[in-house]
Amino acid sequence: MTLPRIFFAGAFACLGIYLFASAPEPLPDGVVEVAGCRHPVNAVFDGVNVINEVARTIYTKRIVGGGKAAGLKFGEDWQEPGVEQGPLPALFLRATAAHMETLPPRLGLYLGSDAPINKSNLFGAAQMSVFKQIKTSREAVYSEDPQSGFVAMYPDVAGVAPCVTCHNEHPDSPKKDWKLNDVMGATTWTYPTSEVTADEFLGVVDAMYASVAHTYETYLSKTAGFEAPVKIGAEWPREGARVLPELDVFLDEVKTQASPAVLQALTRDRRHPDGRSSQDVLAVQADGGQAPCGF
Ligand code: HEC
């Protein structure tokens, strides 16, 4: 046996001993054994969903609403060269989701429907049956499916008239009688494991903020080539003010509004690896016991 072979044989033997002696036991439902506190994936979904809702609302009301009053345009072809437009809210979400797919956390996001304008937004069979529940309950539903792992769906409601008119008038819309307050679809999140560590939780939150920032920045850089200039600075657009807030101003607003709910999601329902909940751990502490789980 030559030297390198001996070396590799030794290395594999050590690895074998390591795997035999200390590799974590695989757990059911995609749970990975970790030393610290675990957070249920549903709390992660609730946290990122708030970021998405806040970003979409600020974008819809203040950028699209204010921007239209200032003479800016928004449409489906906004990314085409020579088109002086910004993304529609649904496309803002789609661009954000597309960017998130390029980042390490395996978080999936899409806006689906049972009667979509864009056929690629049609729910698959498993998700369609969950969506039926949402249409009546109008509440988030958490489920599992063999393809995506863990899934959370939040209803997407026609909260303002333009949702209804634009979809009803759209040539590709298979449904022409949407009404105000209808559940038009669902914001759908997927993640492969049932629980995450605090680092993984924050990694997902960071990825979501970074993706929102990336989409907004793409829009801002597009406006730099517009024939009629748009001033980028501290102000938000409104009638008579053809301006857009710079990236930091936009992102700060999203973070300010979303942070309390994100923190609430991060601090609720924590579980110690031995199965104790955050409530149990607090009780142990009150009795003068050890403070595991980051308390
Ligand atoms: C100006 C037009 C317009 C407005 C306003 C609008 N949408 Fe859409 N919406 C679209 C288009 C176009 C798509 C397809 C985008 C794509 O290619 O994925 C879409 C996609 C969607 C989808 C995914 C399913 C599908 O139809 O492809 C949902 C759900 C949705 N919109 C809900 C809403 C809601 C709720 C509102 C109001 C808050 C709204 N939309 C406002 C044009 C609009």
The pLDDT tens digits for 77-95 are: 898 988 999 999 888 998 9
Given the CA of residue 184, which atom of ligand 1 is nearest to it? 29
Answer for the pair 223, 91: CB distance below 8 angstroms, yes or no.
Answer: no
C-alpha torsion angle, residues 46, 48, 52, 55 (rounded to 10): 120
- CA separation for the pair 163, 157 (Å, rounded): 9
**Sign (positive or negative) of CA dihedral 270, 210, 236, 163:** negative
The residue type found at 109 is: L
**In the numeric block, which tokens belong to residue 221?**
């850089």
Give the range among 24-38, 62-76, 246-260, 263-277 with minimum mean pLDDT.
Answer: 24-38
Position 262 scores a pLDDT of 96
State pLDDT tens for residues 29-67.
544 444 578 899 999 999 999 999 999 999 988 999 999
The whole-chain average pLDDT of the chain stands at 84
> Distance, CA 116 to ligand 1 centroid (Å)?
8
Terminal C-alpha separation, the chain: 54
Q: Which of 57, 114, 167 to mutate to test the pocket of ligand 1 (most atoms within 8 A of CB)?
A: 167
State pLDDT tens for residues 90-124.
889 989 999 998 998 889 998 999 999 999 999 98
> Distance, CA 187 to ligand 1 centroid (Å)?
12
- CA separation for the pair 40, 33 (Å, rounded): 13
Position 23 scores a pLDDT of 46
The residue type found at 223 is: T
Answer for the pair 269, 280: CB distance below 8 angstroms, yes or no.
Answer: no
Position 104 scores a pLDDT of 87
Of all residues in the chain, the percent with pLDDT exceeding 90 is: 62
Answer for the pair 44, 150: CB distance below 8 angstroms, yes or no.
Answer: no
Position 119 scores a pLDDT of 94
Instruction: Return the residue whose CA atom lies nearest to atom 39 of ligand 1.
Output: 163
The structure tokens 């333009």 sit at 162
Q: Which of 80, 110, 166 to mutate to test the pocket of ligand 1 (most atoms within 8 A of CB)?
A: 166
State pLDDT tens for residues 200-233.
999 999 999 999 999 999 999 999 989 988 999 9
Ligand 1 — pocket residues by CB below 6 A?
76, 88-91, 94, 111, 113, 116-118, 121, 156, 158-160, 162-163, 166-167, 170, 184-185
Answer for the pair 29, 149: CB distance below 8 angstroms, yes or no.
Answer: no
Position 22 scores a pLDDT of 46
Using alpha carbons, list the distances in angstroms from residue 202 to 29, 47, 107, 184: 22, 10, 12, 30
Does the pLDDT of residue 16 top 50, yes or no? Answer: no
C-alpha 192, offset from chain centre: 14
* Torsions phi, psi for 67 (to 5 deg): -65, -40
Q: Is 204 exposed, middle or buried (0-12, 13-18, 19+ CB in 10 A)?
A: buried
Q: Which of 52, 61, 117 to mutate to test the pocket of ligand 1 (most atoms within 8 A of CB)?
A: 117
Instruction: Return the residue whose CA atom lies nearest to atom 13 of ligand 1.
Output: 117
**In the numeric block, which tokens belong to residue 34?**
């970790």
167: phi > 0 → left, psi -120 to 50 → alpha, else beta; which?
alpha
Given the CA of residue 60, which atom of ligand 1 is nearest to it? 38
- CA separation for the pair 165, 87 (Å, rounded): 18
Position 20 scores a pLDDT of 44
Answer for the pair 187, 113: CB distance below 8 angstroms, yes or no.
Answer: no
